[in-house]
Chain A
Amino acid sequence: MDSYISILFTEVYKILFLLVPVLVSVAMIVWLDRRVWAFVQKRRGPNVVGPFGLFQSLADALKYIFKEIIIPASSNKLVFVLAPVVTMTLALISWAVIPFGEDFVLADINVGILYLFAVSSLGVYGIIMGGWASNSKYPFLGAIRSAAQMVSYEVSIGVIIINVLLCVGSLNLSEIVMAQQNLWFVIPLFPMFVIFFISALAETNRPPFDLPEAEAELVAGYQTEYSGMMYAMFWLGEYANILLMCAMGSVLFLGGWLSPIDIFPFNAIPGPFWLIFKILFLFILFALVKATVPRYRYDQLMKLGWKIFLPFSLFYVVLTSSFLLYFDLLPGK
């Protein structure tokens, strides 16, 4: 029995060691997002609270905590309360399999990439539950929209993952990173990286695909009826998901914790820092896209997902596998 308790404590310690930095960086990343957005538009952005406005997110969080939580009388109360909890939980549990370095991962499971994919496909439930339980028109429309959008783009993300897996021969995330020691997958699979990036934008409901919360049409989409801390949880979950997508992109295509060149000044920097640099790089790209591209129309969004991305990535699967087969490069024999 003692051994169980000690295992429990070490695991809880490890989980906290992972989750607390993730939550803090989610708060910081919101600030970074708003700053980058502002700089592109020649504004200043949040620069008042703390040095460079760094504590803006903390101030926002404090405001959300002290606001009243309003639960609409005609809502389905249990589901209404569960929705932000589901969003937040799903956004956080997927960090368990992200490898920050060699043997520096919470759960080194065999099917890591499938786990990531499964959890991100569950993410749609937080939104559907919130939209349905609000019992109001705008949230419901937003929820239906986002469910259709996320299911569509998941398909192309799945096919892109197959492309990477063909080159690795394993579903384990650490092995995916180690397979990129000589060549990051972003080079041979560059078109897939671009499609992954755009699909990740759609999957996380970021602009230009933020139709579920298109304020001009749907007020705030599925979040319309939420207030106070529950709204903040949706918000945190969304940004944690964005960070996760960036982490997934850097593990799949940018060589995870590996340094770009294996010579002295670069490989002296520890692996986790490289992963963080890469996540930040992808996130700044996300923010730049938000600042520059106008919102898509819904039929354009669906057309892009089903008629362009899906056939193209399927074609690329055929191309990759025939290339690997022809040059006898198939891994894991």
Chain B
Amino acid sequence: MIAHSVFFYIFSLIAIVSAVMVTVSKNTVHSVFFLILDFISISCLFIMIGAEFLGMIMLIVYVGAVAVLFLFVVMMLNVAEQKGQWFSSRWDGGTHIPVGLLVSLIIFFELIIVIGGWKYKPDLLNSLSINISTEVTNTRSIGNVLYTDYILLFQISGMILLVAMIGAIVLTYRERAGVKRQSYVKQISRERDEGVDLVEAERNKGVKIDA
């Protein structure tokens, strides 16, 4: 048990420190790297409590895909050095600090409510209709719940994601004029007769080529 708790404290220390570093570090790209470190240590914590499926999905989805997109955006927008203003400079009358404080206050109170609710409902685990067995792997038990009791919610969330994806494509799509696209059919179906054109060129005049 000693080793278990040692590892728990190591991972949670890394998680907390890197979460702080996400907001403190001056370089935005470094922030994203710390965010990735945070995700990884949280997935280690998931694995330690026996939720190996959630831990791996956390790695695949957040670290493997979402954080890559974060990195892309941060690198492409070239915002690397702008963030230092938050701590170093005086408040210049902008709105971002009050709004940020408000949002973090709301999140703080939500956390208090969540933890309080957990504390005052100790019989929550007993009242669950699903009996937790240790023999079934947690991948299978998540599947059993997700695709039977909560199938409707699961599919609705899938639909919402699909709508968001289509919306993003529609919003960003613009048709550009004058783009030449490759057409395999056109290329393959070209014959020798139409491809090669023999012309008697008149001297000192050349041939007029129509594109």
Is the interface on chain A under 10, 10 to 19, 20 to 34, or 35 or more residues? Answer: 20 to 34
Q: Which of A56-64, A66-74, A122-130 contacts B (4 or more CB under 8 A)?
A: A122-130
Interface code A96-138, partner B: CB below 8 Å = 1, 0 otherwise?
0000000000000111001101100110110011001000000
* Residues B59 and A121 in contact, CB atoms below 8 Å apart: yes
Q: How far apart are A125's CB and chain B's nearest CB, in angstroms?
A: 7
Q: How far apart are A276's CB and chain B's nearest CB, in angstroms?
A: 27
The residue in chain A whose Cβ has the minimal distance to the Cβ of B67 is A125
Residues of B with C-beta under 8 A to A124: 64, 68
* Residues B139 and A110 in contact, CB atoms below 8 Å apart: yes
Q: Complex formed: what's the CA distance from A128 to B3 in Å?
A: 34
* A264 interface residue per 8 A CB criterion: no
Residues of B with C-beta under 8 A to A76: 27, 29
* Residues B53 and A111 in contact, CB atoms below 8 Å apart: yes
Within the complex, which residue of B29, B33, B36, B68 is in contact with A147, where a contact is CB–CB below 8 Å? Answer: B68
Residues of B with C-beta under 8 A to A125: 36, 68
Q: How far apart are A317's CB and chain B's nearest CB, in angstroms?
A: 15
Residues of A with C-beta under 8 A to B3: 4
* B91 interface residue per 8 A CB criterion: no
Within the complex, which residue of A79, A115, A132 is in contact with B56, where a contact is CB–CB below 8 Å? Answer: A115
Q: How far apart are A85's CB and chain B's nearest CB, in angstroms?
A: 13
* Residues B56 and A122 in contact, CB atoms below 8 Å apart: no
* Residues B64 and A121 in contact, CB atoms below 8 Å apart: yes
Residues of B with C-beta under 8 A to A111: 52-53, 56, 139
The residue in chain B whose Cβ has the minimal distance to the Cβ of A148 is B72
Within the complex, which residue of B52, B60, B76 is in contact with A109, where a contact is CB–CB below 8 Å? Answer: B52
Q: Complex formed: what's the CA distance from A219 to B108 in Å?
A: 50
Q: How far apart are A244's CB and chain B's nearest CB, in angstroms?
A: 16
Query: Can you sample 20 A-B contacts with CB below 8 Å?
Result: A4-B2, A4-B3, A79-B30, A110-B138, A114-B53, A117-B56, A117-B60, A118-B56, A121-B60, A122-B59, A122-B63, A122-B64, A124-B64, A129-B33, A132-B71, A132-B75, A144-B75, A144-B76, A147-B72, A171-B137
User: Considering the complex of A and B, which 7 residue pairs feature the smallest CB-CB distances, nearest first?
Assistant: A121-B64, A118-B59, A114-B56, A118-B60, A110-B137, A111-B52, A111-B56
Residues of A within 8 A of B (CB): 4, 76, 79, 109-111, 114-115, 117-118, 121-122, 124-125, 128-129, 132, 140, 144, 147, 151, 154, 158, 171, 299, 332
